Chain A
Amino acid sequence: MRLLSIFRKTLREQSRDLWLLALTLVAAPVFVVLYWLLFIGGSTAYGVLVLSADHGAVLADGTVFSAGDELLAELGKVTYASGSPLLRVGRASDLESAKRTLANRDAALLLVLPEDFSRGILAFREATSGGGGAPVGGSDGPSDLPAAPTITFIGDLTSAAYAVSSVLTMATLDEYLQTATGQIRPVQLAEEPLGASGVRTEFETYVPGLLILSVTLLIFLAAMTVAREVETGALRRLRVTPMTSFDLLAGISLNQVLVGITGVLLTFGTAYLFGFRSQGPLWVAVLVGAVTTLSVVGLGLVVAAFSRGVTDAFVIGNFPLIFLMFFSGAIYPLPRTALFTLAGHNVAVYDFIPATHAVVALNKVLTLGAGLGQVAYELSALVVLSAVYFAAGVWLFQRRHLRRN
């Protein structure tokens, strides 16, 4: 009976703390809805860029045969069972901009088709059908077959999105070539890692994600530190002084940023001890981590504004944490639907989550060897988001906890 009494008492207390109860209960359903919204256009479509130097080939009847165009069309036909596209295929204009797109994670794979792609396919087709006129040669092909053109796959070899898109592309390519030539893969395939992604150990590929984790966990510390001032009533004492909300929150934030930067350095230091090496300048990665810390602390202030105490801050803090971890690409890639373009960058809804930019920037620096200039966009975005979240946190906190009412 005591058990039932305790159950009843706990139930009563919980029902009188509806805000926390509701948050706990609706968290998972809300994220189900959000994920459904994310995938409303179907499942993830992996971005494949095709840089085609293929000149095509003129057939006997005078028409132009373009294997590159046909392959592009075939790639576009790769769909889920529901009919929604599996690959988001686009043409690249030049190698450098295409690589930038890969580094920005706006595409997962760059497929480079050589000049002689169509002619090679045509030669194989005619050789297989017994026709003459096919150019003969090639060191790797059978002695009676023409030289095999080389198709290059370029991408971040540490990226899961690259692995999926390259497998799908290769299967489509094989199927197309077999249909077109009757041969099994009458081409040579080459793989070119983006940046230094080819030499990264599996351990090294996880370090950027762990770094993001160390920074995002700061949201709890920041929110709880501020919420403690609310819970203990210390704000009552401070509100009768000339202290402003900016003084209070900036002072606490500065401390949290310091903790965050220390955490970033410790994470790097530990990783370094165990063999992790950055391909780009480490100070740039530390800078990215520091700026990310700023934005996470800003989010922590927003959380604190809605908290009446440390427990509230902990429960509420889980919401932005889930966004930071699962909606930023830190754990796994999500479909990107561009809302608009800014300075040549596609801006998707996740780009309002600071960790999204941190993930891209850290990957560029640590894995692809990028320098400060190449992550300027991400750093700028992080600074802007930090300012926005910090301002929002100060404003909300002022309204909810510091306003004389």
Chain B
Amino acid sequence: MTSNPPNTAETVLRAESLTKRYGDILAVDRLSLEVRAGEILGFLGPNGAGKTTAIGMMCGLLRPDAGETFVRERPVRGGDPEALVRVGLAPQSVILWPKLTCLEQLEFVGEMYGMPRPNARRRGRELLETVGLAEKAGRLARTLSGGMQRRLNLVLALIHDPEIVILDEPEAGLDPQGRVLVRDYIRSLARERGKTVILTTHNMDEADRLADRVAIIDRGLLLTLDTPEELKHRVGEGDVLEIEVSDVPGGPGRGAGPFLLPALAELARARGGGTGAVEALAVSRIGDTITLRAPDAVNLIPPVLDALRLAGLRPGAVHLRETTLEDVFIALTGRSLRE
């Protein structure tokens, strides 16, 4: 569960029309948003959507072709130290100095942010403690396991106690246990330590569980930005019924598609009793999965299965679930996040 920061929270980071082009590819297209103090903002989008480029421009790693990022109203573009020290970045790929110990890495990066060495050392020890690496403080980074390296990679972004923490795919490469640990840690950063967290992910579950607000980005464009609940609410009420189908040999198979989906929608509408739920109905087919959202979806299962069989399709696994951010993305783009 997440609790949203109040809308009145002050803006700590503001992006204005950020645009970045790589040759013919428009990686980020006029991205504008405001990030509020203490919130967790998730950037959700498929691989190559422009998430990493967007946060690169926000933390000063990349120079935008147009637009500007302001941290507490100080521009990031010129490498203003006052702006830079307020931001910590944990890059997606693990970036460590293999021949430095865990504590030495933290000390070094702290000093790069202008911290006196004793302070950096003290805070480094605290951070290692919080991510379960205290016993590894004197170990060379190259001797750590992959999961430990990722945790060290994460706390290197926090050594200088930044106000804003930017995490690029923080759960990538972690085992389930590591994901839980990191997720709890990210949550505690915002809830207990008052940090503002911006994270990128292509994992809808991660965004849904962690983020106070989610920005959905695709092909460089910011499609929408709101709380996960509001985003899900927007695409419709009710549950989602997913049915895997395969073609019956000799049957109309995919050829039934143009007629099938409207028929299923009509079926659901009839079952819905012509109430206000009609607006919430949605039927789509992506690959071999037919997705149908409707109130009281569970009662639609038998007639829908019959309809599919009549259409010459063989129903397979049936899943009934709540609406997710994946559904939001599909509603916005007509594609799956995993495509």
Contacts and interface: CB of A to CB of B under 8 A. Distances in A.
Interface of A: 232-234, 236-243, 403-405
A351 to B, nearest CB: 38
A394 to B, nearest CB: 16
A236 B91 contact: yes
Task: Indicate the size class of the contact surface on chain B.
Answer: 20 to 34
A234 B112 CA distance: 12
Contacts of A403: 63
Contact of B109 (A236, A241, A404): A241
A221 to B, nearest CB: 15
B9 interface: no
A242 B63 contact: no
14 contacts: A232-B96, A232-B98, A236-B95, A237-B89, A237-B109, A240-B61, A241-B109, A242-B81, A242-B85, A243-B112, A403-B63, A404-B61, A404-B63, A404-B79
A363 to B, nearest CB: 39
Contacts of A241: 84-85, 109, 112-113
Given A241-B113, A242-B81, A243-B112, 10 more contacts: A237-B89, A237-B95, A237-B109, A239-B60, A240-B59, A242-B112, A242-B113, A403-B63, A404-B77, A405-B63
B62 interface: yes
Given A232-B97, A232-B98, A237 B156 contact: yes
Contacts of A233: 91, 93, 95
A239 B76 CA distance: 12
A234 B97 contact: yes
B44 interface: no
A233 B81 CA distance: 21
A403 B60 CA distance: 10
B87 interface: yes
Ordered nearest first, which 4 A-B pairs have the shortest CB separation? A242-B81, A241-B112, A404-B63, A233-B95
The B contact surface, by secondary structure, is loop
A240 B95 contact: no
B127 to A, nearest CB: 15
Nearest to A229: B97
Contacts of B59: 240
A237 B158 CA distance: 12
A236 B61 contact: yes
Nearest to B88: A240
Contacts of B79: 242, 404
B77 to A, nearest CB: 8
A405 B62 contact: yes
Contacts of B98: 232
B251 interface: no
A243 B97 CA distance: 17
Contacts of B96: 232
A330 B63 CA distance: 46
A232 B95 contact: yes
B114 interface: yes
Contacts of B156: 237
Interface in B96-135: 96-98, 109, 112-114
B150 to A, nearest CB: 14
Contacts of A237: 89, 91, 95, 109, 156
A234 B85 contact: no
Contact of B87 (A238, A240, A405): A240
A235 to B, nearest CB: 9
A38 B85 CA distance: 54
Contacts of A234: 95, 97
B86 to A, nearest CB: 11
A242 B79 CA distance: 7
Contacts of B87: 240
Nearest to B160: A241
Interface string B55-94: 0000111110000000000000101010011010101010
